[in-house]
Amino acid sequence: MIAPALLFAVAAFTPQDPLVVRGATVYTMAGAPIENGVVVVADGKVAAIGAAADVAVPDGARVIEAAVVTPGLIDAHATVGLTGLLNVPHDQDQLEKSAPVQPELRAIDAFHARDELVAWLRGFGITTVHTGHGPGALVSGQTMVVKTHGRSADQDVVRPLCMVAVTLGDEGRGADGKSPGTRAKSIAMLREELQKAREYAAKRQRDAEAPVDLGLETMARVLADEVPLLITAHRQNDLASALRVADEFSIRVVLDGAAEAYLMLPQLAAAKVWVVPHPAMARTRGDLKNGTMELPRLLLDAGVPFALQSGFEAYVPKVRVALWEAGISVQHGLPAEAALRALTIDAAKLCGVDARVGSLEIGKDADLAMFDGDPFEFTSHCLGAVIDGEVYVGAPR
């Protein structure tokens, strides 16, 4: 194992400084792992990568050494930045309960980049997060893709609108007699909103001066295949309803949670739908009672594309780390290489940001995670992260 050389101040680095990261093993996710590998960073991008014997190290470059180097990890679904470290009402902005359908709510307007929970995740090598409005309402709002620099939402955003969050099943029901009160009502209301958006888009096409409706404008983008619905659902019948609506309106859906997805693997594979399986350590109760820690492996074996997430559970934000969830999935049969893909290039493809992140390739963003051992071993540590060429070390664990 290479001894880490990370005893320096974060302020000593800027993205413009030449930087070299050496790893006993470098996982590029664009080819085979490189033993005794080197990544050269310049101007916030990957400038060169390969075996140490084949890559020229710039004169005066700062050098970081680690046992394992990977692309910066990507959390495929979280609420970090809208949910905060303290887990008290003033840092819980992931769910607005005043109405069941609010697709106009923008994640970027609520994202708090400087919340300590963002830095907490960065300390585990997570450099990009797909985050935003969480489950708990039929249509709770929008999601975004953001880097974990911790500067501001506008500085760190990668995609301001990635998906529109929908919840089916018990978690999406209204409270105190409010709609939707049943599963059939939930689907009827979702269909109604999509139909209204279809009519709205047609009207706007005929008359550019027609009044703008922010919610319908967002759903019109779903109908135009610009963004998918991120549908949180667990029971087989709810997953089937999601696929039915997707087929009826010719829209893309991403299935989130999907505890009983193993009951309909052929249908999911045929539909070529992405799944973001529930966190391995999620508490299996309610709609999630038939969840299994083996779900990622089952999806892999069935050829269903997936990425891994930290998800959301009230009152436990600090234990929701995608790296740990992946480690548990590896313990339950998911090959380590597949787990790493699900935290890097596959998550990037799911979120539509694979041109920038998810693999270590020349010209891509210089986002790296550095470990002193196997990232999925509990005794290993993340030594630091690089985001857009900027080095972060000594982050909280």
The predicted-structure confidence for 299-347, as pLDDT tens digits, reads as follows 999 999 999 999 988 777 777 899 999 999 999 999 999 999 999 999 9
Q: Which two tokens stand for residue 365?
A: 């963003």
Q: Which residues contact 266 (CB under 8 A, 6 or more apart)?
A: 302
Characterize 353-364 residue by residue with b for buried, 16 or more Cβ atoms within 10 angstroms of its Cβ, and e for exposed: bbebbbbbbeeb
pLDDT of residue 171: 92
Give the whole-angstrom CA distance, residue 21 versus residue 5.
10
On whether the 10-72+360-393 domain is CATH 2.30.40.10, my answer is: yes
Peptide bond into 180 cis (omega under 30): yes
Q: Is 242 in contact with 250 (CB distance < 8 Å)?
A: no
Pull the structure tokens for residue 378.
């509990």
Nearest 10 degrees: CA dihedral of 364, 367, 369, 375? Answer: -50
Structure tokens at 157: 């955003």
Structure tokens at 338: 């597949």
CB-based contacts of 89, cutoff 8 Å, min separation 6: none
Instruction: Show me where the domains of the chain are located.
Output: 10-72+360-393, 73-351
Question: In terms of pTM, does the model score above 0.75?
Answer: yes
Nearest to 393 by CA among 64, 68, 49: 64
pLDDT tens column, 276-304: 999 999 999 999 999 999 999 999 999 99
User: Which residue positions in the chain have pLDDT lower than 70?
Assistant: 1-16, 394-397
In this prediction, residue 348 carries a pLDDT of: 98
Query: Is 279:325 a contact under the CB 8 Å cutoff?
Result: yes
CATH class (in words) of the domain with range 73-351: alpha beta
- Mention every residue, 6+ apart, whose C-beta is less than 8 A from residue 207: none
